[in-house]
Structure 1
Amino acid sequence: VGNGLASFDVNQERAARSLGASPLRAFLTVTLPQIRIAVMSGMLFAFITSFDEVVVSLFISSGATSTLTKRMFANIRDQVDPTVAAISSMLVVLSILVLIAAQFVRRDGVKAADEH
């Protein structure tokens, strides 16, 4: 996200604010569309990284609640079940689909910019 913000032109948001947009509206209509690919990538990496935090999940979950990472860890430890492999495959496919969708959105944005 930092890289996306580094290439963002602050003058465009200032122009929106000078034309009467509220700070929230200026962010949602000017800033966010320009950095949406960086935000989506950051969300995807944070989601994938959260599965690496099994130790934290083991300490913060109680008996009544259980996170997916804790269940996956217990499933691997206690029994041989293809559920963990299926979840892992689904996460990899989901990650690939999100990245492909981001590329299509980016390509459409470049085409639209070239037409103007």
Structure 2
Amino acid sequence: MNPSEPDPTVSATTAADVALRHTGEGVVIAARGEFDALTTPALQEAIHDALAERPRVLVMDLSETAFFSSTAIGALVDAELTAGEPTSVRLVASPPIRRTLRLLGLDRHFDYCDTTDDALTTTPG
């Protein structure tokens, strides 16, 4: 490969944004964009920071996530496994992400909500 040509294995368009927001009810992590091995560490850091506060509710808002790799899915599973009491982990996710988690058999580990507001106010059931 010519050094002046872009490497086809590296995506120049991979973009991800993670925002952490505190509310009276809990913590919301809004993840937008594409999450792969290069961008998931920012998500993992936000999850770690949020769980360190031991919120009543941790909402993972994935409604604007275009791609979620196995590494990112692992971060979700890790959040659920390490949250412990009193934290309830809830997902706001697009149908493709919900379908992926269902196909992997992981859907039963999460509480799904349609909106962030619902996730913050719904009683776990």
TM-score between both structures, scaled by the size of structure 2: 0.22
Q: Which has the higher strand share?
A: 2
TM-score, normalised to structure 1, is 0.23
**1 or 2, which has the higher helix percentage?**
1
